[in-house]
Amino acid sequence: MPTDTMALPSTRLRALSLALLIPLAVACQSSNSTQPATTQPATGVAATAVPAATATTGATVAAPATATVGVAAATPTAQTPVPLSTSPAAVAVVAASPASAPAAVSSPSPAPVSAGAAATGELSTAVRQVNQKVRPAVVQVTNEQTQVDQFNEPFTVPAGVGSGAIYDAQGHVLTNNHVVEGAQRLLVSLPDGRSFPGKLVGRDPQTDLAVLQISGDNLPVAELGDSRQLQVGDWVVAIGNALALPGGPTVTEGVVSALGRTVQEPGSPPPGGQSPGGPAAQAPGPLLFDVIETSAPINPGNSGGPLLNLQGQVVGINTLVAGQAEPGVQAQGIGFAIAMATAKPIADELVASGRVVHPFLGIRYGSVNPAIAQQLGVQATEGVVVGQIQPGSPAATAGLQPRDVITEVDGQTLKGDSALAEVITAHKPGDNVTLTVLRGSQQMSVKVTLGELPAPTA
């Protein structure tokens, strides 16, 4: 996957786990059923370790001023799979014939909960009311893929289960890209027992978001909220198909632990399994900016499900959970949701055109540190060092070279690992940017016309 980011140096993060989508493969015993279910613990990919003062995440994480960003290192960081689920569960999908056309009717719901409910000891009632209002619109998304049996005959199997939320009267469902990636067929199941084939409207790997659409009568709709109104300490509720337990979505609660996080998802293995060089050879996953950190418990199967305020409005899309802070030390109470202020414009663009256009520079890079600066013979304490340049990319056309150190973009100093990616992401294809570049003892200005990031394959 073309990317302007790379894996972090091994000095930053030791373990990580993503994929709240549940892979379905191995038979195991359900805790509340005597029948074996086809589930296995989700596994993520290790990254590097964040210092103890910074929340360790299932992605590369840091506070905004020192946001940790995945950067392509010349020598990839060693990575190790990290189990994410803690108990087996059965997958329950109730088949139903799709109805004719979507309706704009939402299920009956109680009045919005007042912000003072929790302060007056009414938190349990508030969470209950949020659940009653929104749970009918929280769906289970089953990713079905085709395999070939021993007689070379194709058959379809569920490859994973995630969550999503119906957010408009046209039956659009907002979820994560990693929930739907690779699917030959998508099955969308509602808590009321109905199931519908899901049409993939579009997906965007760079932001890990996707939109599906279903057609049915009297579809419940979840109200979208304004994540920009959130404050640290606000109560939030997560609803999703945790562990794909039978009986419908699971409800958990917590608080907004932090805002404006920058996290990096683990890379995905290539089709057919692990890359030839092992996990360390895999390209890192996308960087997610302005992410909500929450203490609400999030488990495999929650991916794509809503994070809600106490008014029952969707303020985030649950996406990541923290893995191990270090070997043998599991991070606790750290989950991440894509803020609705980020997700809604992406969803609108996917519905309008089926894809999202992103700017493209075409380099892989790593952070500058004193040792690297000395080795390169440059006087720089901040910035990034170019590791690789994609042939034919805007960076190649502009004359950038490996070992160049980029210290500024349009006069803005690059502070922190994620600064370059965040600055570039704020632009559009066709925009011109001026890079301040150190090449040995020389400083120069390099003008680059940003290109368009190639669209993902279907």
Q: How far apart are CA 323 and CA 298, in angstroms?
A: 12
Active site residue 418: no
Closest to 20 (Cα-Cα) out of 240, 205, 219, 308 = 240
Alpha-carbon distance of 454 to 458, in angstroms, equals: 12
**For residue 188, what are the β-bridge partners?**
141, 196
Contacts of residue 152, defined as CB under 8 A and 6 or more positions apart, other chains included, come to: none
Catalytic residue at 431? no
Catalytic residue among 227, 303, 367, 393: 303
Q: Would you state the structure tokens that stand for residue 319, as one six-digit string?
A: 């996406």
Distance CA 120, CA 429 (A): 50
Q: Cα–Cα distance between 313 and 221 in angstroms, integer?
A: 11
C-alpha span between 86 and 158 (Å, rounded): 20
Six-digit token string for 217: 């009568």
Q: Which of 178, 204, 367, 404 is catalytic?
A: 178
Catalytic residue, chosen from 208, 227, 393, 418, is 208
178 noted as active-site residue:
yes
Q: What amino acid positions are annotated as catalytic residues? A: 178, 208, 303
